[in-house]
Amino acid sequence: MGDTDAYDAYTNGCALLQSREYHQAVVALRRARALEPDKASIREALGRAYAGMRDFPHAREEFQAAVDLHPTDGYAHFGLARCLDRLDEPVLARRHHRLAKLFGTGIS
């Protein structure tokens, strides 16, 4: 197993995310994470999949990992903030909403 396997699992997971097949996306993205645990893009996508399933504790873990790996990723901060909102942690949520705005999310 190598980079190609992780990339294939990641692209498959992202396609499933696009189709809103969140459970299947989690399976593919967890496989990608097992192969490349230090890739922020994989952790962010996995956070999105968990959030789509409304599994906010796991989504928070993945978005936090993405932020730790890539501190200027505005979208990861935004995802983390949304999870923190759902988990009733408003002080931390506000901090990450501000960081998302500062770094930009790529969302129009």
User: Above pLDDT 90, what percent of the chain?
Assistant: 92
Residues 96, 1: Cα–Cα separation, whole Å: 35
Q: How confident is the model at residue 70 (pLDDT cuts 50, 70, 90)?
A: very high
Residue 87 has pLDDT above 60, yes or no: yes
Cα separations in angstroms, 24 against 4, 17, 18, 29, 64: 19, 8, 11, 9, 22
Q: What is the dotted CATH code of the domain comprising 3-103?
A: 1.25.40.10
Mean pLDDT of 21-26: 99
Boundaries of every domain in the chain: 3-103
Mean pLDDT of 14-36: 98
Residue 84 has pLDDT above 70, yes or no: yes
Q: Are 26 and 49 in contact (CB under 8 A)?
A: yes
